[in-house]
């Protein structure tokens, strides 16, 4: 026999638990304190810090960067405090708590909770991080923990520029490689979360750049990058392939990362294709795929793409000259920069003739 619940029981309103009421009280007190307690605004060089922060321009002039460099460590601390205030962590915490608890409270009690402030986008956080990225290494290292916290921002744009802050030079001198190992390891989950953000390819793009600096975490990072080889955006697929090849060459080989780059090399967007041509020089161990792709790119009508293919062939595949020399000679007939670079590359690849009389006796 089926058992039906007592109808009268289902009509009785659920009473919030004592724990829920206590949390609600804490949120009420915290919310009121958040709105009523003024934040300190110290004076810095004759103006409130908030005025300095408000005046920072995103991608500002060299004069702006020079001024903040001259402020030295004291100025960096002002920027860090500005970033902390702009991040509004307490507002973020309150907004999350409000959304979780308000629906569970009696109507009368829920009305006592101040409504959460709107989520702010762009503005000071992005401008501050952009400015910090233009300062010297010591300043960036000092600001790194604050920028790391900004990666929790509710604004995707802030998270994206925060990731870029750690990728700054996009080479082995990138800030990520200069960080304290503990902080670097702490950042990894944020990069992986950004790599999996389906709504924003810019986040995935920057995250793929960052993950190349985690060879020590290859077991965690490699599966994420293998999946990213199927990304819908060519630029993300390219960066994922490059990152995978750096952190785990064997996984990259098994997953066909070099073929992904070779395919991106055919992309109609020259700003993506030339980067693929440049990236193929990292796949010297898979010349059987890389060299034919670069040879085909020599015929590109886009000068930048053809030039990038020439540079990669000359720099990374000299042991395979016979496979691309005929195509290089053909490219040398072009009446553009690609033709001139091809002719120069052919000269560089010619066997060097030893001076007369230099033979050993």
Q: What is the DSSP string of 27-84?
A: HHHHHHHHHHSPPP--EETTEEHHHHHHTPPTT--HHHHHHHHHHHHHHHHHHHHHHH
Q: What percent of the chain shows pLDDT beyond 70?
A: 76
pTM: 0.80
pLDDT per residue as tens digits for the range 190-202: 999 999 999 999 9
Strand partners, 43: 48
Q: CA 298, 303, 307, 308: dihedral to nearest 10 degrees? A: -90
8-state DSSP, 299 = T
C-alpha triplet 218, 219, 223: angle, nearest 5°: 95
| Nearest one of 153, 225, 170 to 196, comparing CA atoms | 225
Strands 47-48, 43-44: pairing is antiparallel
pLDDT per residue as tens digits for the range 290-317: 999 999 999 999 999 999 999 999 999 9
Would the pLDDT of 343 be above 50?
yes
- Give the residue-averaged pLDDT of 210-225: 97
| Cβ atoms of residues 166 and 120 within 8 Å | no
* pLDDT at 155 (0 to 100): 87
CB-CB neighbours of 68 under 10 Å: 21
**Distance of CA 331 to CAs 12, 236, 247, 311, 327, Å?**
83, 30, 35, 13, 6
8-state DSSP, 340 = H
- Give the residue-averaged pLDDT of 44-55: 94
Measured CA to CA, the distance from residue 186 to residue 190 in angstroms comes to 8
pLDDT bracket for residue 40 (50, 70, 90): confident
| Cβ atoms of residues 320 and 287 within 8 Å | yes
Measured CA to CA, the distance from residue 286 to residue 322 in angstroms comes to 16
- Give the residue-averaged pLDDT of 47-60: 94
Query: In angstroms, how far apart are the furthest CA atoms of the chain?
Result: 111
Would the pLDDT of 48 be above 90?
yes
Measured CA to CA, the distance from residue 42 to residue 35 in angstroms comes to 19
Would the pLDDT of 93 be above 90?
no
Would the pLDDT of 128 be above 80?
yes
Average pLDDT, the chain: 86
Q: CA 19, 23, 25, 31: dihedral to nearest 10 degrees? A: -170
| Cβ atoms of residues 133 and 140 within 8 Å | yes
Strand partners, 44: 47
| Nearest one of 39, 48, 129 to 88, comparing CA atoms | 39
Spacing of C-alpha 77 from chain mean position? 24
| Cβ atoms of residues 316 and 324 within 8 Å | no
pLDDT per residue as tens digits for the range 237-280: 999 999 999 999 999 999 999 999 999 999 999 999 999 999 99
| Cβ atoms of residues 233 and 191 within 8 Å | no
């Amino acid at each position: 026999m089926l058992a039906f619940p007592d109808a009268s029981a289902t009509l009785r309103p659920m009473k919030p638990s004592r724990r829920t009421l206590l949390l609600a009280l804490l949120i009420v007190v915290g919310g009121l304190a958040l709105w009523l307690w003024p934040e300190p605004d110290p004076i810095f060089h004759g103006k409130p810090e908030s005025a300095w922060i408000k005046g920072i321009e995103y991608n500002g002039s060299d004069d702006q960067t020079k001024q903040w460099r001259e402020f030295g460590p004291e100025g960096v601390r002002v920027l860090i405090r500005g970033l902390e205030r702009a991040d509004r962590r307490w507002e973020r915490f309150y907004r999350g708590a409000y959304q979780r608890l308000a629906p569970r409270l009696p109507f009368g009690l829920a009305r006592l909770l101040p409504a959460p402030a709107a989520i702010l986008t762009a503005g000071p956080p992005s401008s501050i991080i952009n400015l910090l990225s233009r300062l010297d290494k010591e300043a960036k290292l000092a600001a790194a923990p604050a920028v790391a916290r900004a990666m929790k921002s509710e604004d995707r744009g802030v998270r994206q520029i925060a990731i870029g802050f750690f990728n700054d030079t996009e080479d082995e001198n990138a800030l990520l490689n200069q960080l304290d190992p503990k902080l670097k390891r702490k950042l990894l989950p944020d990069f992986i979360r950004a790599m999996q953000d389906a709504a924003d390819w810019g986040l995935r793009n920057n995250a793929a750049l960052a993950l190349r600096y985690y060879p020590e975490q290859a077991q965690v990072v490699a599966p994420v990058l293998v999946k990213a080889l199927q990304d819908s955006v060519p630029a993300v697929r390219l960066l994922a392939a490059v990152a995978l090849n750096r952190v785990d060459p064997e996984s990259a080989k098994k997953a066909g990362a070099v073929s992904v780059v070779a395919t991106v090399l055919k992309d109609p967007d020259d700003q993506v294709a030339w980067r693929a041509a440049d990236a193929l020089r990292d796949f010297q161990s898979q010349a059987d795929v890389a060299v034919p792709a670069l040879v085909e790119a020599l015929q590109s009508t886009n000068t930048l793409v053809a030039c990038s293919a020439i540079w990669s062939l000359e720099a990374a595949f000299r042991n395979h000259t016979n496979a691309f020399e005929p195509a290089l000679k053909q490219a040398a007939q072009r009446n553009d920069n690609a033709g001139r670079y091809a002719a120069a590359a052919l000269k560089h690849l010619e066997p060097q003739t030893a001076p007369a009389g230099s033979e050993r006796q």
